[in-house]
Amino acid sequence: MSLLEAVARGASIFDDAMRSRRPELERLFSEASGLTFDEYLAIASALAMIYSADAADVLESNSALFDAARIGEHLCPAARSNVPAFLDLIAQTPEELAAALHRDDPDGSLRWGVKRSYRAVRDRPLLRVSRGRVIVLDPGMMCDAISMGPLFAALRVAPKGLANTLFGAFGNGVEAYVQRLALGMYPATPSLAPRVVLNPTSPTRRKGEAEELCDLVIHGTDGIALVETKGVFIRDEDVLSADPATFPNAIRKQYANPPSKGGRAKGAHQLVRAIERLARGDAQLVGLRAGMTIYPVLVTLDDLVSAPGTRDILHAAFAKALGADAGRFPFRLRGIYVAQLIVMTVGDVELLDRVVQTTGLIDVLRAYAKAGPAHSFHDHLAANQIAYGVAIHGRQVTEIADAAMDRAKEFLFGSTRADG
């Protein structure tokens, strides 16, 4: 993910999806940072502009080092005054980094059994050094900090018990962002049935109640994609654990955990439940008929899910819940066919709007399912980038980022405060 995509994602999730739904989030973020959403996104946009323009007067060496003082020289006084608060949020000194790294290991013994994490770098991935210069410790974590910084800043000052509510709202914001991208791929037209249906529901056996099948459905001529989105992450402790069973178990827990008694199915199990209801006739989707193939798609915000082997863990759990052999897909279920579980990241979805201009989405999913589980969906796009017309940045991501930067320009270079 580039800084351009980070700004677009952050603008859509926080500014468009979360601001109206959870107004207390911006209040908590301002309390923690001294900035509004608009001011935060404006400074983030300025940094993205500098990197996209490869500004030689600010960037040094290989762009991992830049002069923070020179950023303010490009901005008006009102915006310049917010640069220190922005850097306080995502940058730290070497002494602060050392203290954070040894917080859970105070004697520095690096002994086994100590719970470790990347949080010291993930929270503030920029390092302040001499003469006002700043080093980018990790480009990926820098982009994550830009796109998700407001959430984690707000959590630092949130009252006890509010964290789960804010995480839930963030997950809903990620879902809304993926839905926005899908609608942009296939815009509705008055003369045709919609290709994209958001949050389809079907009546349950309880009178007057309806159950959501999935987050969205994308229709093709001979297949249908059922899409479920998850805006959660695997904990660093589970990634770094010395126990080889910890990471697979964490993957299953986050993305393929069976519903608890009376609870709601999630992730892969949500897709299994939707497929079983459709196959039994307990639920209906317009356009689904016998002989068609359902493509179950799990979209995750965490890029770790595209790591080798991770998709196999989730597909095995999906197949088991469906009562199928993981190696025998497509699987016939009461007159319809079910393809293997397809796992993609939000970053993959951001690239798809270029792809669907030349190749139908269902065709892409079919080709990936036939290729087998040897590589991730992202690798499939990369291997076929010429045939699919994959670009570095998706069209909608560029448009969202451009709109965010246009809103920021008056604040950055003019005299008007960005109050929203």
Is the domain of 326 the same as that of 232? Answer: yes
Average pLDDT over residues 133-159: 88
| Residue pair 82/35 in contact by the 8 Å Cβ criterion | yes
Mode of pairing for the β-strands spanning 223-230 and 293-300: parallel
In a domain, 168, yes or no: no
Is the domain of 273 the same as that of 134? Answer: no
Q: What is the DSSP letter of 260?
A: P
**Nearest Cα to 223, choosing from 173, 287, 270?**
287
The pLDDT tens digits of the residues spanning 111-121 come to: 544 556 788 88
pLDDT of residue 139: 85
Distance CA 105, CA 100 (A): 10
In a domain, 418, yes or no: no
Average pLDDT over residues 133-162: 88
In a domain, 79, yes or no: yes
Work out how many domains the chain is built from and give that number.
Answer: 2
pLDDT of residue 106: 56
Average pLDDT over residues 3-14: 86
Distance CA 284, CA 273 (A): 13
In a domain, 420, yes or no: no
| Residue pair 143/137 in contact by the 8 Å Cβ criterion | no
Q: What is the DSSP letter of 257?
A: P
Is the domain of 195 the same as that of 216? Answer: yes
Average pLDDT over residues 229-255: 90
Would you mind telling me the total number of residues written for the chain in this entry? 420
Q: Residue 314: how many CB atoms within 10 A of its CB? A: 23
The pLDDT tens digits of the residues spanning 183-241 come to: 999 988 888 888 999 999 887 666 667 888 999 999 988 899 999 999 988 988 888 88
Predicted confidence band of residue 269 (pLDDT cuts 50, 70, 90): very high
| Residue pair 141/198 in contact by the 8 Å Cβ criterion | no
| Residue pair 274/267 in contact by the 8 Å Cβ criterion | no
Name the residue range of residue 210's domain: 178-389
Backbone angles phi, psi at 167, to 5 degrees: -65, -40
Q: What is the pTM of this model?
A: 0.88
Is the domain of 257 the same as that of 378? Answer: yes
| Helix intervals (H) in 102-206 | 119-123, 139-157, 163-185
User: What one-letter code names the amino acid at 413?
Assistant: F
| Residue pair 336/292 in contact by the 8 Å Cβ criterion | yes
Backbone dihedral region for residue 386 (phi beyond 0: left; psi -120 to 50: alpha; all else: beta): alpha
In a domain, 171, yes or no: no
pLDDT of residue 207: 60
Structure-token pair, residue 367:
């080709």
Is the domain of 103 the same as that of 200? Answer: no
Distance CA 298, CA 279 (A): 19
Is the domain of 326 the same as that of 220? Answer: yes
Predicted confidence band of residue 103 (pLDDT cuts 50, 70, 90): confident
Lowest mean pLDDT among 51-55, 280-284, 330-334: 51-55
| Residue pair 23/406 in contact by the 8 Å Cβ criterion | no
pLDDT beyond 80 at 2: no
Number of H helices, E strands in the chain: 19, 14
SS3 27: helix
Distance CA 265, CA 267 (A): 7
Is the domain of 248 the same as that of 354? Answer: yes
Distance CA 125, CA 349 (A): 25
Predicted confidence band of residue 417 (pLDDT cuts 50, 70, 90): very low
The pLDDT tens digits of the residues spanning 347-384 come to: 999 989 888 888 889 999 999 988 876 788 988 888 88
Is the domain of 280 the same as that of 133? Answer: no
In a domain, 288, yes or no: yes
Distance CA 176, CA 191 (A): 25
Provide the percentage of residues in the chain whose pLDDT is more than 90: 29
Beta bridge partners of 336: 333
H/E element holding 66? Answer: strand 65-67
In a domain, 54, yes or no: yes
In a domain, 419, yes or no: no
Is the domain of 270 the same as that of 194? Answer: yes
Q: What is the DSSP letter of 364?
A: H
Is the domain of 249 the same as that of 354? Answer: yes
Distance CA 119, CA 59 (A): 26
pLDDT beyond 60 at 54: no
Is the domain of 239 the same as that of 366? Answer: yes
pLDDT beyond 50 at 181: yes
CA distances (Å), origin 252, targets 47, 104, 246, 256: 37, 27, 10, 5
Q: Residue 64: how many CB atoms within 10 A of its CB? A: 15
pLDDT beyond 70 at 416: no
The pLDDT tens digits of the residues spanning 162-178 come to: 888 888 889 999 999 99
95/193: higher pLDDT: 95
pLDDT beyond 80 at 40: yes
| Residue pair 297/179 in contact by the 8 Å Cβ criterion | no
Mode of pairing for the β-strands spanning 126-128 and 91-92: parallel
Burial of 164 (0-12, 13-18, 19+ CB in 10 A): exposed
User: What one-letter code names the amino acid at 227?
Assistant: V
Predicted confidence band of residue 413 (pLDDT cuts 50, 70, 90): confident
Mode of pairing for the β-strands spanning 133-136 and 216-219: unpaired
Predicted confidence band of residue 418 (pLDDT cuts 50, 70, 90): very low
**Nearest Cα to 72, choosing from 105, 111, 43?**
43
Is the domain of 298 the same as that of 339? Answer: yes
